[in-house]
Amino acid sequence: MSLTKPATLSDVALMAGVSESAVSRTFTPGASVAPATRARVVQAAASLGYRPNAIARTLTTRRSRIIGVVVSYLQNQFYPVVIEKLSQTLQRHGYHVLLFVSDGHETGATVDDQLMDVMQYQVDGLVLASVTLSSAIAKGCRAAGVPVVLFNRTAPIEGVHSVASDNHAGGCLAAQALIQAGCKRIAYLAGLEDASTQIEREQGFKDTLHEAGIEVFARAVGHYSYERACAATRDLFSRATIPDGIFAANDHMALAVMDTLRNELGLQVPQNISVVGFDNVPQSAWLAYGLTTIEQDAQAMVTSTVEVLMQAIEADSTTAIFEARKVVAPVRLISRSTVAG
Amino acid sequence: MSLTKPATLSDVALMAGVSESAVSRTFTPGASVAPATRARVVQAAASLGYRPNAIARTLTTRRSRIIGVVVSYLQNQFYPVVIEKLSQTLQRHGYHVLLFVSDGHETGATVDDQLMDVMQYQVDGLVLASVTLSSAIAKGCRAAGVPVVLFNRTAPIEGVHSVASDNHAGGCLAAQALIQAGCKRIAYLAGLEDASTQIEREQGFKDTLHEAGIEVFARAVGHYSYERACAATRDLFSRATIPDGIFAANDHMALAVMDTLRNELGLQVPQNISVVGFDNVPQSAWLAYGLTTIEQDAQAMVTSTVEVLMQAIEADSTTAIFEARKVVAPVRLISRSTVAG
């Protein structure tokens, strides 16, 4: 199988139906270009796998030893922990992290513009944590031979690796813990509706409840945000009949649930309500919380991510691309003091 | 004033008294080199301002548009907040963050090896947050024309910029708040002893107490760590006479103090003890804490850091180098519910 010739600036201009100057300006930081033109250029460049500066840089070094990491969600302590471990593990392999912080978290926006920006740096690989990837950009990365690993997310996109926890099993464990505690009115606090973590955790939770002949008593959406989880908790617990158990789709929201129950609603955990989270962030172990939670093994996930990247970088790019690896890390229940019994 | 010629691999080998191959191996990720040899090469390279790959890369582009950011302390939520703001602000200027996570926090180790590593990437500037810089490396950066900004730290090193809060004034505000609350036995929980933040905050705190005719009742060291702050709190409050007020040198430790007082020692905040922190991290506003604290304006500090970097990068390097800027950001008291009265 022959490698295709890298796309040039002219190819992009032709496909986008714009001048070469417009393409050049699109990829020059700070340069002016009309939004509509920019959108066409980005789309064309993405589908062609065009990498600005690719020729000049490739002449001097085949590898940049830089891994682009895109995150959108540093408030949740899980991600700083991951960035620290990922950065240190890559450093031991002689690679470094070029960090991109997206603000698309709340909107669920894709990060296409940002990824084109990442590609200018001739990265050897990409890790996308907590962001959504479009098929067009994934295709561009494939064309450019840049391996992509989705971290803590999965997506049905050809050629894209993923490393995520067994979220479905985690949802099952959370349901079992609440059932065993004797909870009868079990609520679910959802994260971002379109996130794979949210969908899989909820499915596992509902499946296990269903097997026990229990339906979800109430459902609210906290969007993985502290403030929105506080608001959702007020809503859930202002009704005539309130839940006696709740599974929050991550710890960041579970801490908000506990704070709101105790400090605003005068309810006790676990005497009045049992609470289970997901992640096992450092604060879950803090004395103020002692949160019972489903642990994601951040170190194992990071180790797998780096392994997948290194194998993909070392391998012949034409074979590696179509053998996307889907790593599923095991989870476990960490029992602390927020579940009754 | 003429620009000096960039140092070559041969220059470094000559100065270090080693072979050129040893120098090459020192700067090849994963290559083997004896620790003693490596140390001599790093020292020689640092003092000469040698940048591996400098020639090949400089031929293709004068600027990398990459800013190296070194941090060592992501557990404290202040730093994830800073990284997010810094990354987004630099992105708006067409620059990106190459992130280096040091593990030298607890030991206070310098990050010389890591900085040499950063320099290989031909960064246009360096931001060092919560890490210690050696004079030798600072000299190397000057020789290489790479501006360095210390973030949330100050150091008496020639040619190095710094952006920090008015920590002395913050210490004064903390003392005033505890004095006004009527506290009589006022304790201080120190951070890392050699950090400029720790030294300046404590000095301001003691100066204001002293003016009011009060001496510090007790002092313990929490090293800016949650766990060590918990241990220090147990120690301080296991004595016959306990403090009725405490200033913790950052919020991360103040939250540990509150958790330990309430959950282990059965003491109430602020009924039994008033607590003041420093930073105003997001958790300080959480319902479980409502911590009264001295706010560092992270956005203002980040904006200043980027301004200083951009000016230094744009300016003629020979003039900019010797006009190091020392930016001091104002602080203010955020009154919540952990101080009596």
Per-residue pLDDT tens for A265-319?
A: 999 999 999 999 999 999 999 999 999 999 999 999 999 999 999 999 888 555 5
What pLDDT does B108 receive?
Answer: 45
Least Cα distance to A122 among B38, B286, B263, B98 occurs for B98
Bridging pattern class, strands B326-329 and A331-334: unpaired
B94 touches chain A (CB under 8 A): yes
What pLDDT does A89 receive?
Answer: 94
Q: How far apart are CA A45 and CA A23, in angstroms?
A: 9
Question: DSSP for B203-271?
Answer: HHHHHHHHHTT---SEEEE-TT-HHHHHHHHHHHTTSSS--SEEEESSHHHHHHHHHHHHHTS---TTT
Nearest-CA distance from A301 to chain B in Å?
18
B227 touches chain A (CB under 8 A): no
Least Cα distance to A87 among B110, B149, B103 occurs for B103
B340 burial via Cβ count (<10 Å: 0-12, 13-18, 19+): middle
If you search the block for the tokens 């789309």, which residue do you land on?
A43
A311 burial via Cβ count (<10 Å: 0-12, 13-18, 19+): middle
Q: What is the dihedral of CA B157, B162, B168, B171, to 10 degrees?
A: -120
A32 touches chain B (CB under 8 A): no
Q: What is the dihedral of CA A103, A106, A109, A112, to 10 degrees?
A: 20
Cβ-based neighbours of A138, under 8 Å, separated by 6 or more? A148, A157, A158, A159, A160
Residues in chain B predicted with pLDDT less than 50, given as ranges, are: 1-4, 54-61, 106-109, 320
A284 DSSP 8-state letter:
G
> pLDDT tier at A47 (50, 70, 90 boundaries)?
low
CA–CA distances in Å: residue A283 to residues A103, A253, A256, B227, B283 = 24, 12, 12, 11, 10
Question: DSSP for A96-157?
Answer: EEEEEE-S-TTTT-B-HHHHHHHHHT--SEEEEES-B--HHHHHHHHHHT--EEEES-----
For A250, phi then psi, to 5°, come to -150, 165
Chain A CA closest to residue B92: A30
Interchain contact, A30 vs B94, CB within 8 Å: yes
Gyration radius of chain A over CA positions: 22
Interchain contact, B282 vs A84, CB within 8 Å: no
Q: What is the ipTM of this complex?
A: 0.80
B80 touches chain A (CB under 8 A): yes
Query: Would you state the structure tokens that stand for residue A254, as one six-digit string?
Result: 């579970």
A325 burial via Cβ count (<10 Å: 0-12, 13-18, 19+): middle
Bridging pattern class, strands B326-329 and B66-71: unpaired
On the CB side of B218, CA atoms within 13 Å amount to 19
Collect all residues of chain A within an 8 Å Cβ-Cβ radius of residue B77: 77, 80
Give the one of B100, B260, B262 whose C-beta lies nearest to A87's C-beta: B100
Bridging pattern class, strands A96-101 and B96-101: antiparallel
What pLDDT does A341 receive?
Answer: 84
Q: How far apart are CA A301 and CA A85, in angstroms?
A: 10
Least Cα distance to B250 among B174, B315, B178 occurs for B174
Nearest-CA distance from B85 to chain A in Å?
9
Collect all residues of chain B within an 8 Å Cβ-Cβ radius of residue A264: 287
If you search the block for the tokens 């204001």, which residue do you land on?
B208
Collect all residues of chain B within an 8 Å Cβ-Cβ radius of residue A94: 29-30
For an interface test with A, the pick among B99, B102, B251 (most A C-beta atoms closer than 10 Å) comes out as B99
What pLDDT does B106 receive?
Answer: 47
Gyration radius of chain B over CA positions: 23
Interchain contact, A87 vs B65, CB within 8 Å: no
Model pLDDT for residues A151-206, shown as the tens digit of each residue: 999 888 888 999 999 999 999 999 999 999 999 999 999 999 999 999 999 999 99
What pLDDT does A112 receive?
Answer: 64
Average of per-residue pLDDT across A254-274: 97
Interchain contact, A101 vs B117, CB within 8 Å: no
Give the one of A57, A99, A260 whose C-beta lies nearest to B287's C-beta: A260
Cα(first)–Cα(last) distance of chain B, in Å? 62
What pLDDT does A46 receive?
Answer: 64
What pLDDT does B340 receive?
Answer: 94
For an interface test with B, the pick among A51, A73, A103, A283 (most B C-beta atoms closer than 10 Å) comes out as A283
Q: How far apart are CA B325 and CA A148, in angstroms?
A: 41
Least Cα distance to B120 among B199, B184, B49 occurs for B49
B269 touches chain A (CB under 8 A): no
Interchain contact, B230 vs A287, CB within 8 Å: yes
A253 and A222 in contact (C-beta within 8 Å)? yes
B263 and B112 in contact (C-beta within 8 Å)? no
B3 touches chain A (CB under 8 A): no
Give the one of A60, A77, A259 whose C-beta lies nearest to B56's C-beta: A60
Indicate if the pLDDT at residue A251 is higher than 50. Answer: yes
What pLDDT does A73 receive?
Answer: 74
A136 touches chain B (CB under 8 A): no
Q: How far apart are CA A19 and CA B87, in angstroms?
A: 31
Does residue A78 or residue A73 have the better pLDDT?
Answer: A78
Query: Would you state the structure tokens that stand for residue A279, as one six-digit string?
Result: 């992640």
Q: How far apart are CA B167 and CA B252, in angstroms?
A: 16
Nearest-CA distance from A215 to chain B in Å?
31
A91 touches chain B (CB under 8 A): yes
Interchain contact, A61 vs B53, CB within 8 Å: yes
Give the one of A81, A103, A117 whose C-beta lies nearest to B88's C-beta: A103
Q: For residue A25, how many other CB atoms are within 10 A of its CB?
A: 18
Does residue A258 or residue B134 have the better pLDDT?
Answer: A258
Cβ-based neighbours of B303, under 8 Å, separated by 6 or more? B89
Q: Can you name the residues that pair with B220 across neighbouring β-strands? A: B189
Collect all residues of chain B within an 8 Å Cβ-Cβ radius of residue A91: 100-101, 117
If you search the block for the tokens 């959802």, which residue do you land on?
A190
> pLDDT tier at A108 (50, 70, 90 boundaries)?
very low
Give the one of B53, B96, B288 whose C-beta lies nearest to A100's C-beta: B96
Nearest-CA distance from B115 to chain A in Å?
12
What pLDDT does B58 receive?
Answer: 37
Least Cα distance to B128 among B75, B187, B82, B180 occurs for B82
B53 touches chain A (CB under 8 A): yes
Task: For residue A302, give the amino acid letter.
Answer: V
A153 and A126 in contact (C-beta within 8 Å)? no
Cβ-based neighbours of B307, under 8 Å, separated by 6 or more? none
Nearest-CA distance from B116 to chain A in Å?
13
Collect all residues of chain A within an 8 Å Cβ-Cβ radius of residue B254: none
B332 touches chain A (CB under 8 A): no
